[in-house]
Amino acid sequence: MKRAVAAATMLALFGSASAGETVRVLSGEHDDFTRIVLIFQAPVTWSESRDRDGFAIRFDRSDISPDLSRIFDRIPRDRISEVSFNRSTATLRLESDCNCLITVFKAGKNTIAIDVKSNPDPSASDLRLPLDQPGTALPAIASPEPTIPTVPAQSLQKIQALQDSLVLQLGRAASQGLIEIDPVPGPPRSLEELAGLASPATRFDPDAWVHLRSHTVIDSALPGLSNAAVLAASPACPDPYYLDASNWAGSDDTSLSIAMARSGVVDALDRPDPAGIEALAKAYLRFGFGAEAEAVIREFPGAVAHPDILTAVAQIMDKGQADDATPLVRIADCDGPYALWAVLAQGDRAAAFDRDTDALQQWFFRLPPDLRGHLGPILARRLHASGDVNVARSVRDATARTLGAPTADLVVLDAQTGMTRTSPAIEQAELESILSTAGVETGPALVELLRRRTAAGTTTEDLVVLAESLAFEGGASDLSVDLLEQAVPGRAQIGDLKGALADFMALDQILPESPRTDRILSAIFLNGAKTEDDIGLLVATEWLVRNRRVEHLSQDAAAAASERLLALDLPDEADRLLAPFRDTDAVDIRQLRARAAMMKGDPAMTLSLLAGEADPESRELRAEALLRLGSYEKATELFESVDRLKPAARAAWLSADAEAIARLGSDGERGFMAWRENKNGTAAGTASAAIDLGGSPDNAGPRTGIDTDPGSSIETGTPVPLGGFDSQRPSLAAGRTLLARSSDLRIVIATLLSETGVSGD
């Protein structure tokens, strides 16, 4: 019997123990709060509240039993005087007579933390809620209606004058058709009535103030644009010191400042602290760590007040400009350093930005020295490119004073802008010395050095290869684009047009079609036309035509390449490059097209292209076209006007113009014409009509005489002199004379036969 009772008792005890869960309880004391942690074995939910005796946390489980035996081992009894648990209601009570606040939150898996914190405002009322009422919600605070101040009576006259002036200007604009005015229905209100509407007790109604509405031409073109939309798009200015870099760190020691900032990322409750997160991001920015600052902003979304602004600044630190400059440009006119950061954010686009240069310089000089040294060359380059040369020089000089000795980025800046009076030879030597250091400025220095070498025509293959290597290592970065931009014309200049085209095709994958790519493409043909890589020029021309990029070629590049193609007797290819410029009035383009037309057998097109042009080259081309068309007299006149006497003599001979032949022809031609005129004017057998056949065998023009068979004249058989030829003593010079004059004789015979109607066959 005793055994049965004992067994039953033990079963009841074990059953009771297994039915409940003992909850582990930890406690700890902090400067301004006391923490209690409850570790459950299964999920639990709760609600907290406060009554006049302290706090109560009610759980949704009645099978729990917190172990409170050692709860006061580590905490005093000032904030919490007693802790108890009512299992029947599953309520944990914390007795407290202090004006404290309670926070209950989940601190891990099945773990609840309870913080009893001293009220930071001791004067605040000690609000104690009933036990069953949740204590976490606060009543909503209604926003007051916007009001405007009362208008003083003495100001009404000034407002009336301002209103009259505004109406006058609106009337002038309406009379010029710039705006349309729509009067508001109903009688206009007086200023006194409007002043009454502005009393603080009256809800502000914007429509009550409207007398008339105006619509500009822009409003008509953009009907969806309203005043409300414009005002909504207008950004509010941040605090003037929000981007004041001098306040971004507590110390100039990098490690110490960042360590201090990192310790404030979470508050005493181990929750992310927005102020601490922003302080850490700014500490990273203070020392130029843009990527780290951007990572902090991205890791804690919503914690930073202006994440888009700080992200743009972070990108400036690493890239020299922001991916999206809009957040800074929109507030560039605000008080503070925003004009400075807006210029830096825009990159090369800063040329279109109207900024306050006085404020810009003021805030730049307030930057910490290391940031001045880092951002100074970038800012000076931006300002110089946009035309603010004096401001750029001021920034550059301040940066140089900050850095002390010249640095690589300052050397590159000076070489790019010429703001210092250094000889080109010294600048080039300094750029070359930067290349040997393999530092961060190697790329920019190489870009500037290649640009100078290409402009001077002294590019070397090793520089081009180095630029290509750095570009392909950098991927699609801005520096890679700059390097390839200089490598393309450089490779074309050393006579490798196929390689230049390959580099351009790689660049074409990074950059969209733009004036910049057009300029790079044109550089291939401008430089390639000066080399002997004719096959490369043909390949590049074919690629241009096949990819429909001919119209992207500059006029100068098309002209240079066409000139080379015409020299290679390729008029069709030249015409393809000139096709986009058919409507241009440039004489050099029309001359090239005229030459191509002549080579393709279309002299009429040549004449139409160069009609009325008086320059020597155009006149000569027109003369050649007229010669082909049979207008010999006009051709003679044009050739003679540009001092082209040899083709002028040929045209004169073909025209059979005696005066022109007498003026321009050879001795033989003039003699023949004299004989012909004498033959037509006297008896056929007159011996005095014999032709004077003398002349020098070394004449540069047509041969100067007609020799017949030795011993007889043309018509009488009378012996005539043979122009220095002695049949008894032959010589090489005399033989040359006979051979040269025999060609003239054939011309004369052919002419005589054509006059008599006898075939020369």
- Confidence band for 146, pLDDT divided at 50, 70 and 90: very low
Predicted confidence band of residue 284 (pLDDT cuts 50, 70, 90): very high
Q: Which segment of 524-528, 547-551, 675-679, 732-736 scores lowest on mean pLDDT?
A: 732-736
How confident is the model over 715-731, as a mean pLDDT? 42
Percent of the chain whose predicted confidence (pLDDT) is above 70: 70
pLDDT value, residue 127: 40
> For residue 556, is pLDDT > 90?
yes
User: Would you call 757 helix, strand, or coil by DSSP?
Assistant: coil
pLDDT of residue 507: 86
Residue 95's pLDDT is: 92
Calpha distance 217→234 (Å, rounded): 21
H or E segment to which residue 527 belongs: helix 515-528
pLDDT at res. 676: 77
151 pLDDT more than 90: no
Tokens of 624: 């050649």
For residues 70-96, give the mean pLDDT.
90
Under the banding of pLDDT at 50, 70 and 90, the label for residue 557 is very high
pLDDT recorded at residue 698 = 37
Residue 669: per-residue pLDDT: 82
Taking a C-beta distance cutoff of 8 angstroms, is the pair 290, 345 a contact? no
Q: Is the pLDDT of residue 722 over 80?
A: no
Torsion, CA 284, CA 286, CA 288, CA 291, rounded to 10 = 30
Burial class (CB in 10 A: 0-12, 13-18, 19+), 448: buried
Q: Quick check: helix, strand or coil at residue 111?
A: strand
For residue range 42-62, list pLDDT tens digits in order. 889 999 888 888 899 999 988
d(CA 303, CA 305): 7
With 0.75 as the threshold, say if the pTM is over it: no
Q: Compute the distance between CA of residue 541 and CA of residue 573 in angstroms, rounded to an integer.
A: 8
Reference 622, options 632, 633, 630, 610; nearest CA is 610
Element containing residue 512 per DSSP (H, E): none
Give me the half-sphere count of Cα atoms (radius 13 Å) on the Cβ side of residue 487.
Answer: 31
Local confidence band at 114 (pLDDT 50, 70, 90 cut-offs): very high
Question: Which range in 117-121, 146-150, 246-250, 594-598 is most confidently predicted, on average pLDDT?
Answer: 594-598
pLDDT for the residue 589:
92
Kindly state the average pLDDT of the residues 561-585: 91
Confirm if 110 and 41 have CB atoms less than 8 A apart. Answer: yes
Flag whether pLDDT at 14 surpasses 90: no
| Mean pLDDT in residue range 711-727 | 38
Q: Name the band, by pLDDT with cuts 50, 70 and 90, for residue 663.
A: confident
Which H, E and C letters describe 382-396, residue by residue?
A: HHHHCCCHHHHHHHH
The identity of residue 283, as a single letter, is: A
Cβ atoms of 620 and 638 within 8 Å: the answer is yes
Closest CA to 595 of 556, 622, 630: 622
Provide the token pair at 640.
């003679």
Q: Return the pLDDT at 713.
A: 35
- Token pair in block for residue 5: 């009772």
Which of 39-43, 74-78, 152-156, 268-272 shows the lowest per-residue confidence on average (mean pLDDT)?
152-156
In this structure, are residues 596 and 571 in contact, taking their beta carbons and an 8 Å threshold? yes
Cβ distance 748 to 672 under 8 Å? yes
pLDDT at 427 (0 to 100) = 74
Which DSSP letter does residue 525 get?
Answer: H
- Distance separating alpha carbons of residues 662 and 655, to the nearest angstrom: 12
* pLDDT tier, 739 (very low <50, low <70, confident <90, very high otherwise): low
Dump pLDDT digits (tens) for 363-373. 888 888 888 88
Mean pLDDT of the region 194-222: 51
Name the nearest CA neighbour of 590 among 567, 621, 561, 565. 621
Please name the amino acid found at residue 700.
A
Exposure string of 36-45, with b = 16+ CB inside 10 Å and e = fewer, is bbbbbeeebe
Q: Are 347 and 320 in contact (CB under 8 A)?
A: yes
pLDDT of residue 735: 59
- For residue 43, what are the CA distances in angstroms to 20, 51, 109, 147? 14, 26, 8, 51
* Least-confidence region, from 279-288, 467-476, 523-532, 603-612: 467-476
**Ranges 34-43, 359-368, 394-403, 584-593: which has the least confidence:** 394-403
- Regarding predicted confidence, which is higher, 254 or 597? 597
Spell out the alpha helix ranges (H) of 404-441: 408-417, 424-437
Q: Is 154 helix (H, G, I), strand (E, B) or coil?
A: helix
Contact predicate 195/151, CB 8 Å: yes
Whether pLDDT at 480 is above 90: no
Distance, CA of 724 to CA of 696 (rounded, Å): 8
DSSP assignment string, 197-257: HTSTTSPP-GGGG-SEEEEEHHHHH-TT--HHHHHHHSPPP--TTTT-GGGS-S-S-HHHH
